[in-house]
Chains A and B, each alone.
Chain A
Amino acid sequence: MSESRTRPFPLVDRTDPNLLEETFDYSLPPLIRFDGPIIEYVEGKPVQFDPKALKTRELVITDTTFRDGQQARPPYTIEQMVHIYDLLAKLGGPNGVIRQTEFFLYTRNDRETLDRCRALGHRYPECTGWIRANSMDDFRLVQENKLTETGLLTSCSDYHIFNKLKFKSRKECMDRYCQVVDAAFSAGIRPRCHLEDITRADVEGFVFPFVERLMRMSEQVPEKLSVKVRMCDTMGFGLTYPGAELPRSVPKLVYKMNQEVGVPSSRLEWHGHNDFHKVHVNAATAWLYGCDALNSTLFGFGERTGNPPLEGAVFEYIALRGDLCGIRTEAITELAEYMRSIGLPIAENYPFVGRGFNTTQAGIHAGGLRQDERIYNIFDTTALLGRPPRVSLTDKSGADGVAHWINEFFGLKGDQRISKIKMHKVARWVFDQYEVHGRLTAISDQEMEAKVRELMPDYWARHKGQ
């Protein structure tokens, strides 16, 4: 019989709240804290990872909005890309948390965009290229555009090697890829090998031998040319669960690349896709286990189901580091507004930037917001995103919802806030919209504004003037 593991949990009574503010510091996204080492079993042996290293390693976010992001939509104009690049620079701050972004180089527009982005004079994000590298001429493009680093497609699953690229053998494929890498070295360009479809590849039979060869080749060139490795979870097959097997295990992929194949953390990057709703956590897990660069796109917009959302990575970064590190989070809202203005759809409930991401409809939640906004707001969204928590008025909003809307509308805080008693006529109007008139849509801000003006004229005059 197994011994019972239950133990008593006596009530710790207190008369003041314990708000766990060491984690839920309202001025930041909730901090990600660990209370011990992380253990993953690799080939039956426990391997420890120290999460404290996350504070000291040079974690970075890289961006592929203009490459993968643009593969999923009609092309951006040059002006649009330059403006987005400018805002990315503002968001990432002077420490270059958003370290790099990559550009196509094939058309005149591609090259003009690159020139105009660089002309802005931002140190970060650094501009890198992306080429198919089917032809050695591609390196000429990289050289002519004075880029020092470019991504190269080095697909690594047999789905690609045999069924798409039609190589006769893995050796033929590896030799060809290494020729391309050699050509990059000869051109003085740092190659970043994009290991496409790694989570469906024979990692022991092809990926690790190939990357091991890349590491040996890198020893023959100056450090600034040494190969970077981007692990591409092309189909979103990656898994974070302890004990998951290769090639799908993100922890094991990163660990083996880093500790057994010998790719330094600073030269490892994770690029994911969201086919199974795992895109952000897979990418953040790669950070955790030893991969320094997290590749992402703004609002996750990318091929098919998209990539790790850059803004999610930004908040993850802050939560892991416990500090803004120069990041200007308000630029996320600016980027979202700009993207909407050029026709990029962002779902209402999309985290951090959807129009309703911090809007509550339930009256009971609005009541909580009215008492202390921390109850139903994830962090100080007013300070970090310029987005105060809001209520959207429906039949579920109740008088608390109406009170929250009106106080926010008048911009009243603390003791200045108007009690719901004083706005009962507006609350009645809202209630009757549904109970009496059978309305089925939410009440718009414009309608509310008109009703407040009509039914609360004294308050209107006091707070909105004439």
Chain B
Amino acid sequence: MATLQERVIAVTARVLRMEPATIRPEHHFAKDLGAESIQSVELVANFEEEFGIEMDEDAALSVSTVGGAVDFIGKVCAEQGVAV
């Protein structure tokens, strides 16, 4: 079964149309992966769908790196009782 980080990277790769293997936790969504404003929104929407969670919009959009997203989603999943 895929880990939380692998799932976050898979969603990121799908939304940003990249190869998963090129994405690392320290990558910044905008600066390193080229995510535009609209794609940031799409990333959050796809993370919600992937994990079955609801995220606070402002907090979610303030996460800037892939690793940060893994930590943030892990926390939200724990708060909302979603197993990952």
Contact = CB atoms under 8 A, between A and B. Distances in A.
Interface stretch (A120-128, A192-200, A416-424, A444-452): A416-424
B37 A424 contact: no
B57 A428 contact: no
B45 to A, nearest CB: 4
A427 B42 CA distance: 9
Contacts, number: 27
**Interface majority SS on A: helix, strand, loop or mixed?**
helix
A431 interface: yes
A343 to B, nearest CB: 41
A420 B57 contact: yes
Interface in B31-66: 37-38, 41-42, 44-45, 48, 55, 57, 60
Nearest to A420: B41
B38 A421 contact: no
B38 A428 contact: yes
B72 to A, nearest CB: 14
Contacts of B57: 419-421
Interface residues of A, number: 11
A271 B32 CA distance: 62
A398 B38 contact: yes
**Interface majority SS on B: helix, strand, loop or mixed?**
helix
Nearest to B60: A421
A399 B44 contact: no
A421 B45 contact: yes
A399 B45 CA distance: 12
A421 B55 contact: yes
A363 B60 CA distance: 19
Interface in A355-408: 363, 398-399
Interface string A410-439: 000000000111101001100100000000
B55 A399 contact: no
Contacts of B42: 424, 428
A399 B38 CA distance: 6
Given A421-B44, A422-B45, A399 B37 contact: yes
B48 A427 contact: no
A363 B37 contact: yes
Contacts of B44: 421, 424
Contacts of A421: 41, 44-45, 48, 55, 57, 60
Interface in A256-310: none
Contact of A431 (B38, B45, B48, B55): B38
Contacts of A428: 38, 42
A409 to B, nearest CB: 18
Nearest to A431: B38
Residue of B37, B41, B48 most packed against chain A (CB within 10 A): B41
Nearest to B38: A431
Interface in B1-45: 37-38, 41-42, 44-45
Contacts of A424: 38, 41-42, 44-45
A369 to B, nearest CB: 15
B42 to A, nearest CB: 5
Nearest to B36: A431
Contacts of B38: 398-399, 424, 427-428, 431
Contacts of B37: 363, 398-399
B10 to A, nearest CB: 18
Contacts of B55: 421
Contacts of B48: 421
Interface of A: 363, 398-399, 419-422, 424, 427-428, 431
Cβ-closest 10 pairs across A and B? A419-B57, A424-B45, A399-B41, A431-B38, A424-B41, A421-B45, A424-B42, A421-B44, A421-B57, A398-B37
22 contacts: A363-B37, A398-B38, A399-B37, A399-B38, A399-B41, A419-B57, A420-B41, A420-B57, A421-B41, A421-B45, A421-B48, A421-B57, A421-B60, A422-B45, A424-B38, A424-B41, A424-B42, A424-B44, A427-B38, A428-B38, A428-B42, A431-B38
Given A421-B41, A424-B44, 10 more contacts: A363-B37, A398-B37, A419-B57, A421-B45, A421-B60, A424-B41, A424-B45, A427-B38, A428-B38, A428-B42
